[in-house]
Chains A and B, each alone.
Chain A
Amino acid sequence: MQDTGKNIIIAGVGGQGILLFSNLLSKFYMKLGYELKISDVIGLGQRGGGVESHFRYSNNPVLSPFIKAGDADYVISFEQTETLRYLHCLKEDGIILSSTFELSTSSVNTRLEKDMPESKTELIRKSGKKTFIVDPDENKNPDFDISKMMNIVMLGFYAELRGYSHDEMIQIVKENVPKKFVEGNIKAYEKGMAIAQTEVAEKESELSNC
């Protein structure tokens, strides 16, 4: 079936390369001839503030720059507190792609408010949505710094999940990141692909068991 378009919320905290992620994705969808609207909302604060990107591609002109709660096909999040912040935006059959990375909030650090008692990863898993979790600690790699390249790991993951051409996506990465980072970025991309292959296989076997 032809893909007529999707609504994607990309979330995380400042410094995680969310804008690069949405920029690379936009280049890919533009090549496929889609109409696009991408709204990069940078939250209050300096480094460590929340960042969200509303990414919409469609066969038809895109109207609202913001995705209405309940209209998101994907939440792709690089920080798990931020993942929770957008769960309500997903469609019934929406998909979560989330890192287990967590940057504690200043309000919790200074006890202005209490942290959530439950494990955030578990809350995401229990959301009832199709969920893919990527743990950066379990995927540390000498070839690239995963703390800085989680965005590209997620790009590889997402492209594999959607069955996109990796050659085309890697070409876009090459054209848009500084030369000295290209090699590391490709390693990060391939890592994302590999994690996705394992995860998807696991999900499929889970589904066939029930």
Chain B
Amino acid sequence: MVMMNGNEAVARGAFEAGVKVAAGFPGTPSTEVMDYTHQRYPDIYCEWSTNEKVGLEVAIGASFAGYRSLAIMKTVGLHVAADALGGAAGSQINGGLVIVVGDDVGRIAGDDYNDVRHYGNMFNIPVLEPSDSQDAKDLMVKAFAISEEYTTPVILKITSVICKTTSRVIIDEDYTYEAKCRVKYPVSFSKVIMTTMMMNAKGSEHPKLVKCFNDFPAHMKRLADDCNDFDINNLELRGKKIGVITAGTPYFYTKEVLPDASILKLGLVMPLPEKLIRKLAKHVDKLYVIEDGHDILEKNIKDLGVSVIGKELFPKFPEMTRFTPDVIEEKLVPDAPKRAIMDGIPFRLPVSCAGCSHLFITQILKKHKIKAAADVTCGLIGCFPHTEAYSLQKCMGSSIALSHGYNVATDHKENFVAMIGDGGFWATGINGLMNLIFNDSQSTVIIVDNSCLAMTGGQHIASSEFGFNYKPENKLEIAKVCEAIGVKDIVTVDAYEIETLENAILNAVNAKTNSVVIVKKPCITKFKLPKSDPYHIDQELCTQCRKCIHIGCLAIESKKGKDGKVEIVINEDLCVGCGLCSTACKFDAIKL
């Protein structure tokens, strides 16, 4: 018996399933599935791919070669990889193909609007959802078996709660790793090719055609029948008053709050075990669905003609970002005591690390009132009202194309700048840059080169000097790639050389051509850069203009002193001595 969080358990499950290839792209909360797989199971080939679509395609290719393969990403990443998933869905599978996808439930950041199970409905593929770490490990093994038996890619949905919860797992201590090769089909085509041939060919029973065709609706029908007997779908018949159909961690919330309820715990959430659902519906007076994310189980169950109570009692976002035991108690336990959080406790908006290179950029953009788009990067914190440096921010890798669109629509009258992280640049932003060049745009792009994918904890990317498969000769140089793409004006600047950086950005913005400013500084948190002496604020000189506060640096605080008077102070434990705030202060109050 060992203690594992959900990410560790999924990695262990991949190992025990004999996975040969794991590929994907970092994304909270499921990033560590790959990290653990790589650290602990060196038999498994691991790679962080350039983006999720590439990662899934690598896994699909490896699966066709006959080996069990795994793709890892978060739901937002599966949007990028959705085309690849659509291609694999309904096609012939050799080695089992499982896509582990993290739903970041409970966050107030936007990811909680997503629910990976939609892809199960859209592509008609199975989705599994574990309730704890043991379940995560077991379902991982089961997912590969289902993938091969029913010839389909399988999604394993994990949530932020599963990923970050540690509980006990029984592992097979004596397990010896073996990656089996299973080549059942000589060809595997997308549904488009298979159906086109089937629909247009007269002799569709011809062996040449038959080998291409995959009767995927029949496989799913068979799975839907068989899953009534799967032990991962567990019907616990107890009291007759309340029945609950649930999956994931809400199963445990339900069991704790409603110990007498009859529960159908689904391990396979798509397709549904219809017989078990009807059996439970018959047994109880009232049937509820308790599911994190969207009302997908609820809709699918209602489609079976079974009446259930779901979001009418438990309204989804924005009333609720995820289920908790408290929510269930409030609605289903009469006379439950009400306990509310104390009023007036200040909220914590995200703040950049002290000394982050992004702060230097946002400070310059604001000083010169340069309009800019941010990307998905640590720098997006600059969009929040305490910094207010950006006016546009969408998905990963988007900022270059966003700013190009803005500039062509406004006839290039102002240079709407794009800021992008190195991770976003390699992921999909590079497409935006190529697009910008061959469509003859004049936009300016600021690429923040911090040598890793900082926001998810510092994983390696194409321009990092480390990585699972790193070799110095294979490192991609951002500047060289930009040059090869055809960018006219490229400069590389150290973020801490603030005057040089300021001039570089101004020159680029004012030049009537396309331009890239590469801002270099390794991520201060990942690479634990040495600190300089902390700065402090001379309270005699400070006018409380709060300019320094709006830099958005974690080390600068507005605080009540012992005498109750508010002061602007620098937290010396957090300050790294970068000196940015001292350049921003007009009153020379910030000193070493």
Contacts and interface: CB of A to CB of B under 8 A. Distances in A.
Given A47-B353, A63-B255, A68-B257, A81 B345 contact: yes
A66 B325 contact: yes
Contacts of B234: none
B257 A104 contact: no
A81 B346 contact: yes
Contacts of A44: 107-109, 348-350
A37 B348 contact: no
B164 A107 contact: no
Given A63-B256, A64-B325, A110 B549 contact: yes
B348 A38 contact: no
Contacts of A111: 546
A84 B348 contact: no
Contact of A106 (B255, B326, B386): B386
A42 B164 contact: yes
Secondary structure type dominating chain B contacts = loop
B353 A68 contact: no
Interface in B123-164: 132, 160-161, 164
B342 A46 contact: no
Given A104-B559, A109-B556, A37 B165 contact: yes
B378 interface: yes
B326 A69 contact: yes
Interface in B558-592: 558-560, 571, 573-574
A106 B345 contact: no
B77 interface: no
B552 to A, nearest CB: 7
A20 interface: no
A11 B165 CA distance: 15
B348 A107 contact: yes
Interface residues of B, number: 59
A85 B351 CA distance: 19
Given A64-B325, A68-B329, A88 B381 contact: no
B249 to A, nearest CB: 6
A106 B349 contact: yes
A196 interface: no
B3 A147 contact: no
A36 B386 contact: no
A155 B324 CA distance: 28
A47 B165 contact: no
A70 B337 contact: yes
Contacts of A107: 346-349, 386
Interface string A34-73: 0111111111111111100000000000111110111000
A138 interface: no
A26 interface: yes
A116 B344 contact: yes
A69 B386 contact: no
A110 B544 CA distance: 11
Contacts of B300: none
B249 A110 contact: no
A105 interface: yes
A88 B558 contact: no
Contacts of A47: 351, 353-354, 525, 554, 574
Given A68-B326, A69-B326, A85-B341, A105 B347 contact: yes
Contact of B252 (A30, A65, A106, A123): A65
B351 A45 contact: yes
B167 A43 contact: no
Given A45-B350, A106-B349, A113-B347, A35 B168 contact: yes
A46 B346 contact: no
B549 A109 contact: yes
A35 B74 CA distance: 30
A84 B385 contact: no
B351 A48 contact: yes
Contacts of A38: 165-167
B316 interface: no
Contact of A84 (B164, B345, B574): B345
A81 B349 CA distance: 14
Given A84-B342, A107-B346, A109-B556, A65 B3 contact: no
B554 A48 contact: yes
A106 B525 CA distance: 20
A135 to B, nearest CB: 12
Given A26-B3, A104-B558, A69 B339 contact: yes
A51 to B, nearest CB: 10
Interface in A129-180: 147-148
B557 interface: yes
A39 B381 contact: no
B218 interface: no
B253 interface: yes
Given A47-B353, A49-B350, A147 B573 contact: yes
A156 B339 CA distance: 31
A100 B344 CA distance: 18
A8 interface: no
Interface in A111-130: 111-116, 123
Interface in B316-360: 324-326, 329, 337, 339-342, 344-354
A39 B164 contact: yes
Contact of A62 (B167, B324, B349, B549): B167
B106 interface: yes
Contacts of B256: 63-64, 68
Interface of A: 13, 26, 30, 35-50, 62-66, 68-70, 81, 84-85, 87-89, 102-116, 123, 147-148
11 contacts: A30-B3, A36-B167, A45-B351, A48-B351, A48-B574, A65-B249, A85-B341, A85-B345, A88-B339, A105-B346, A147-B573
The 3 closest A-B pairs by CB, nearest first: A45-B350, A110-B386, A69-B339
